[in-house]
């Protein structure tokens, strides 16, 4: 197998793994419960911790 074909096959397998993993992640999380979809999980919405003096 040529080097170009090897890289192409490797890229295709990598994309399948990434897409498959993302689909599994979305299936495991209930709709609307993905951490990246929740504004409360963003650092701007976290209460500021008081500085210890």
The per-residue pLDDT for range 4-46, each reduced to its tens digit, is 999 999 999 999 999 998 888 877 766 666 666 556 655 665 5
Number of H helices, E strands in the chain: 1, 0
DSSP code of 21? Answer: H
- Return the pLDDT at 33: 62
- Return the pLDDT at 16: 97
Which run of H or of E encompasses 45? Answer: none
- Return the pLDDT at 2: 92
Q: Where along the chain do its domains lie?
A: 1-27
């Amino acid at each position: 197998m040529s080097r170009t074909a090897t890289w192409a096959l490797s890229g295709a397998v990598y994309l399948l793994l990434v897409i498959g993993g993302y689909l599994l992640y979305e299936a495991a999380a209930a709709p609307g419960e993905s951490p990246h979809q929740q504004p409360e999980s963003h650092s701007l919405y976290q209460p500021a911790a008081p500085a210890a003096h």
